[in-house]
Amino acid sequence: MKTYVPKEGDITKSWVVIDAEDKVLGRIAVEAAKVLRGKHKPEYTPFLDCGDNVIIINAEKARVTGKKFTDKKYYRHSGFPGGIKETTYEALMAKHPTRALTMAVTGMLPHNRLGRSLHTNLRVYAGADHPHSAQTPTVHTF
Whether 9 shows a pLDDT value over 90: the answer reads no
Instruction: Look at residue 72 and tell me if it is in a domain.
Output: no
Output the pLDDT for position 51.
95
Residue 52's CATH number: 3.90.1180.10
Write out pLDDT tens, residues 82-129: 999 999 999 999 999 999 999 999 999 999 999 999 999 999 999 999
User: Quick one: pLDDT at residue 66?
Assistant: 97
For 130-140, how does the pLDDT look when each residue is reduced to its tens digit (9 = 90+)? 999 999 999 99
In a domain, 90, yes or no: no
Residue 38 corresponds to which amino acid?
A: G
- Evaluate if residue 1 carries a pLDDT over 90: no
- Residues 142 and 132: their CA atoms lie apart, in Å, by 21
State how many domains the chain has.
1
Mean pLDDT, the chain, integer: 96
pLDDT number for residue 37:
97
Asked if 54 contacts 18 with a C-beta cutoff of 8 angstroms, the reply is: yes
- When pLDDT is cut at 50, 70 and 90, the band that residue 80 belongs to is very high
CB atoms within 10 A of CB 38: 21
Is residue 16 packed enough to be buried (19+ CB in 10 Å), middle (13-18) or exposed (0-12)? Answer: buried
Cα–Cα distance for residue pair 82/95, rounded to 1 Å: 24
What's the whole-model pTM score? 0.93
pLDDT at 123: 98
Domain with 21, as residue range(s), is 14-64+98-139
Q: Which own/partner contact pairs does 75-79 have at CB distance under 8 Å and 24+ positions apart?
A: none
Q: What pLDDT, in 10s, does the model give residues 37-77?
A: 999 999 999 999 999 999 999 999 999 999 999 999 999 99
Whether 4 has a pLDDT exceeding 90, the answer reads no
Q: Is residue 27 part of a domain?
A: yes
In a domain, 50, yes or no: yes
In a domain, residue 6? The reply is no
